[in-house]
């Protein structure tokens, strides 16, 4: 006998889940229901726990008293469904994004409250979000498809550098027009905000014996050149460090200490204003 995820299974291997095994205790109770996956892995769970979580008697499979049943989902998918039902984290199991998506379908099929299970800090939320740094558009499309608002919002922050023209028709259909539009509006809104912020040059200081209006216009011209370059090349995720570096380099030839103070003050304003721009849908 081997446990699921402890070994590669052959068609003749009788496997038991390493977590949902006969010794799995929940609320002080031992399991009283065995669920077998499509690939013949056995999961030992609590019938009452599933009935309380489901609004359709676990897809109708538990309407009558039973001690065992077989489901069409493979073990990798069923494992996710049971983990999130019990409120247990399974990110460490590294399920594939395809398995996670199939598990979401199964969660709905078995009458489990998908919106509640995908709340922030809940296992299902953390499971999908764990893919945001690596497959952000795919994870966003999944969250959008199932209308998991808080999850979609969190993942959208990872898409600020994503080229929206690369989104496939399949993913566009999956996420739907509303969530695609919100993502496009996020990108467009940030770029508009960036342009409005950086195009305002530093203020001029009172004329001094060594720095008149014409001299100060050199700083304004340097700022305008840097602003144009930023607006032309920047992505919606441009960092405050990149903005500061660009403006500091552009004004490197400025010698007047008063102009330099005006420059530093304006850079601080830019950093503050850009930091305040919304980063999620």
What secondary structure does DSSP assign to the chain, as a single string? -EEETTBPPPTT--EEESSSSTT--BTTB---EEEE-TTSEEEEE-HHHHHHH-SSTTTTTTSS--SEEE-SS-HHHHHHHHHHHTT---GGG---HHHHHHHHHHHHHTT--HHHHTSTTSHHHHHHHTTTTTSHHHHHHHHHHTT-HHHHHHHHGGGTT--GGG--HHHHHHHHHHHHHHHHHHHHHHHHHHHHHHTSPPPPPPPBTTB-HHHHHHHHHHHHHHHHHHHHH--TT--HHHHHHHHHHHTTT---HHHHHHHHHHHHHHHHHHHTS----
Residue 138 lies in a domain: no
**Residue 268 shares a structural domain with residue 189:** yes
Tell me what pLDDT residue 93 has. 73
The model's pTM is 0.87
Say how many domains are in the chain. 2
**Is residue 141 included in any domain, yes or no?**
no
Residue 194 falls inside a structural domain: yes
pLDDT at 174: 96
pLDDT in tens, 142-160: 999 999 999 999 999 999 9
State residue 157's pLDDT score: 97
> CATH number for the domain including 80?
3.30.710.10
10-residue stretch averages of pLDDT, the chain, 281 residues long: 42 77 94 96 97 97 95 96 94 86 98 96 94 96 97 98 94 96 98 96 88 85 94 95 93 87 94 97 97
Q: Which domain holds residue 241?
A: 180-275
Residues 26 and 125 in one domain: yes
* Amino acid 13: pLDDT: 54
The predicted structure's pLDDT at residue 76: 94
- Does residue 52 belong to any structural domain of this protein? yes
Choosing from 130, 158, 190, the residue where a domain stops is 130
Same domain, 195 and 96: no
* Cα-Cα-Cα-Cα dihedral sign, residues 176, 127, 43, 67: negative
Residue 119 included in any domain: yes
């Amino acid at each position: 006998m081997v446990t699921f995820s402890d070994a590669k299974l052959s068609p003749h291997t009788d496997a038991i889940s390493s977590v949902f095994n006969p010794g799995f205790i929940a609320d002080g109770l031992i399991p009283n229901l065995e669920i077998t996956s499509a690939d013949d892995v056995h999961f030992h769970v609590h019938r009452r726990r599933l009935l309380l979580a489901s609004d359709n008697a676990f897809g109708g499979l538990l309407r009558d008293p039973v001690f065992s049943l077989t489901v069409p989902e493979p073990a990798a998918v069923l494992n996710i469904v049971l983990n999130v039902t019990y409120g247990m984290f399974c990110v460490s199991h590294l399920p594939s994004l395809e398995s996670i998506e199939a598990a979401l379908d199964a969660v709905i099929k078995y009458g489990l409250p998908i919106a509640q299970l995908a709340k922030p800090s809940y296992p299902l939320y953390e499971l999908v979000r764990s893919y945001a740094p690596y497959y952000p558009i795919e994870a966003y499309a999944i969250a959008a498809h199932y209308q998991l608002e808080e999850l979609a919002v969190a993942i959208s922050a990872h898409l600020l550098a994503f080229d929206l023209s690369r989104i496939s028709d399949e993913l566009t259909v999956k996420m739907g027009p509303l969530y695609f539009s919100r993502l496009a509006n996020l990108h467009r809104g940030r770029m508009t905000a960036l342009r409005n912020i950086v195009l305002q040059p530093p203020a001029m200081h009172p004329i001094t014996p060594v720095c008149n209006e014409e001299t100060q216009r050199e700083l304004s011209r340097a700022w305008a050149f840097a602003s144009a370059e930023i607006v032309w090349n920047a992505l919606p995720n441009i960092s405050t460090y990149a903005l500061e570096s660009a403006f500091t380099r552009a004004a490197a030839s400025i010698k007047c200490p008063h102009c330099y103070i005006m420059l530093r003050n304006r850079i601080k304003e830019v950093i503050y204003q850009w930091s305040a721009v919304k980063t999620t849908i």
